[in-house]
Chains A and B, each alone.
Chain A
Amino acid sequence: MGLLVTTPTADPSPGGQTRVRSPWAVARAAGVAPFTRRQGRELLFCLAGLPFAVVSPLVLFVLAVDLIWLAADGGRGNPSPAEMAIACVCLGLLLVLLVSTRAARRLGSLQRRLATRLLGIRVAAPPPVRRRPGGRAWPGPGPRDGAGWRVMAYQLAKLPIGMIELYAVFFWIGGLVNLSYPLWWGAFRNHPPGVRLSPVPVFTPFGLFGEGTFHVATLPGTFAAAAAGAAMLLAAPWVTRAVTSADAWLIRGLLGPGRLTQRVHDLELSRALAVDDSAALLRRLERNLHDGAQIRLATLAMNLGMAREKLGDGGEVPDAAAARELVDAALRGAKDALGELRGLVRGIHPPVLDNGLADAFASLAADRAIPVELEVSIPVRPTPAIETIAYFCAAELLANAAKHSFANKLAIRAAGQRDVLLLSVADNGTGGADPARGTGLSGLAQRVAVVDGRLTIASPPGGPTKITVELPLRA
């Protein structure tokens, strides 16, 4: 959630073309679409998902009514309201049983895996059932398992959507069959003239037989059928894409962890990160003080102590030269300690930040050896926590750019919109910034995520790199 890397794979067209510019390109995309591997997988998903659509509460209800009706009335007449009510109760019990045992969750996990495999969508599994301490030992998740009930809701929706998926499959099969008409007409219906042949039906998106189809009875007519088939094949990828997208949306919403659970999970994660981060910060601070200023001051005190010794107890000074040298060393030590403390203080909270981000960024830019272009317009001042995060993000991104990008020009842009602070650091360097390599960028993304912010990286190989940080104005 915190990190977003823009890559060319996120494209909406079924043909897999990145950008569609000219009509020719559109035509090519449409023409190539049916033959991509992705299309094949989507088609396979439509078919493989069908058996699951049968495990629908609706189907189970109809089944239950029929069984009871057969058992009670031998299938004569219509099911009575009493029988319907009994079927309802049975269905309810069955659903509770499915949810209470692991069956519902297993059904969900199976379909989630199918979607991952064939549609390439990654949906996290719902969190495991939390056992209340001291609760009874029940092997399944129990009847109050929200994740299980959401699987059942998905099954209910899967029936109609499965039918539309079947319809998408029909586009492919019908299209192919239509396309083959001229071939087999030429091969098998080669009758002498004058013989009247019975017309054959041509599939259209509006029907298989009868109404909604048209018939051909001549060889030229079969070309019309082939044309209809080609049109169906061209449309097929889009129909498939549309229905599998809808299914994917349902899978994300119902078979995943659920929005609230996901949010809780994200917050738990970012809280853990924030706690770790501040513990690590304190530790680093302690280390820096212990190994830096503190030891410098101890050395300084030691030098002064020795100098005091050399100066003697009043009157004659036994070793003035040594004393002077020691005092000089102490003076140097004091200056070093001061410099080090200044650096530390700046690392904790740069004083210039009190004047707002514009001044702070200007001072950051001025510190760089590479020229930094600055463009800041923040009409409403963010809260101090946000300002601090924005400042350290900018500082780290600038340092990264200077270290890795070989750029000779950097730019900081910060704009405050209604309730969002948009900060971007760009360079004209070699690009290829990757959060997977090194912990810098992913660490930044984590820190930004703590306040529900987002870090977006656009850094194609060869450059330029632009890293955008989106932060809420208050946190």
Chain B
Amino acid sequence: MNVRVVIAEDAALFRAGLARLIEDQGHRVCAAVGDGGALLAAVAEHQPDVVVADIRMPPTHTDEGLRAALEIRRQHPRTGVLVLSQYIETRYTTRLLEGNAAGAGYLLKERVADVAEFADALERVAAGGTALDPEVVGQLLRASRRADGLAALTARERHVLALMAEGRSNAGIADALVVTGGTVEKHVASIFDKLGLPPDEGDNRRVLAVLRYLGS
């Protein structure tokens, strides 16, 4: 799979490393820019499959990247947005996924150290899937006010729930847990039953359902 990528990151060393990493995976980096404005311009010009954006960039050094990402999701629905950040911040995640989890991702920067995992997340988002950082999902699970509902789950089911929230497909979950697809399907059905969620739908709607459940 050859993906066309635009990178926005203000730290030059990290940006160069990221570009190299992505190209090593056989993808194409159309542009690598250093702030939100340049990112929007580059997306309009190249119409990439996916954007990899830092949250905090000049000139405001606040949530420049996130705002640009939301703008891209509005204007170019076919471009996936993978936000890289140094914060574990569930507010940012919910803003990013508001109403639609398709083609969106939020990862901590250090995830790039696991090249295969990162490449997988990038491709998933480029293909219209979802990728959420395990730390963010963990935070959501810990902070969830639905503790009683979660208590009904077995340890295995909780693990499957977390992987689901990260945006993995059943096949991906099966790979991660080293079990068969059938086993995962059984777990997922049981989870949806116990939490009172609507029956299993597509991967992205599933992510939204789970997040909504955890956040409410």
Residues of A within 8 A of B (CB): 287, 290-291, 294-299, 301-306, 308-309, 329, 333
Contact = CB atoms under 8 A, between A and B. Distances in A.
Contacts of B114: 305
Nearest to B54: A295
B113 A305 contact: yes
A301 B118 CA distance: 13
A290 B113 contact: no
Contacts of B13: 295-296, 299, 333
Given A290-B56, A306-B20, A306-B21, A295 B113 contact: no
Contact of A301 (B61, B86, B110, B116): B110
B17 interface: yes
Given A295-B86, A309-B115, A302 B14 contact: yes
B86 A305 contact: no
B113 A302 contact: yes
A298 B24 CA distance: 18
Interface in B87-118: 109-110, 112-116, 118
A302 B86 contact: no
Contacts of B24: 306, 309
Given A298-B109, A298-B110, A291 B11 contact: yes
A305 B115 contact: yes
Contacts of A296: 13
Contacts of A304: 113
A291 B17 CA distance: 16
Contacts of A291: 11
A296 B112 CA distance: 13
A170 B114 CA distance: 95
A305 B24 CA distance: 12
Interface residues of B, number: 19
B188 interface: no
Interface string B8-26: 0001011001101100100
A298 B86 contact: yes
A299 B14 contact: yes
Interface of B: 11, 13-14, 17-18, 20-21, 24, 56, 61, 86, 109-110, 112-116, 118
Nearest to B11: A295
A306 B118 CA distance: 11
Given A290-B56, A295-B109, A302 B11 contact: no
Nearest to B10: A291
Given A294-B86, A295-B14, A296-B13, A302 B21 contact: yes
Given A291-B11, A295-B11, A333-B13, A302 B112 contact: yes
A296 B14 CA distance: 8
B29 to A, nearest CB: 15
Contact of A299 (B17, B56, B116): B17
6 closest cross-chain pairs (CB), A and B: A301-B113, A305-B113, A298-B109, A302-B112, A295-B11, A299-B14
28 contacts: A287-B61, A290-B56, A290-B86, A294-B86, A295-B11, A295-B13, A295-B86, A295-B109, A297-B110, A298-B14, A298-B86, A298-B109, A298-B110, A299-B11, A299-B17, A301-B110, A301-B112, A302-B18, A302-B112, A302-B113, A303-B17, A304-B113, A305-B21, A305-B115, A306-B21, A306-B115, A309-B116, A333-B13
A65 to B, nearest CB: 73
Given A287-B61, A303-B17, A298 B56 contact: no
A453 B20 CA distance: 55
Nearest to A319: B24
Contacts of B18: 302
A298 B61 contact: no
Nearest to A309: B115
A297 B11 CA distance: 12
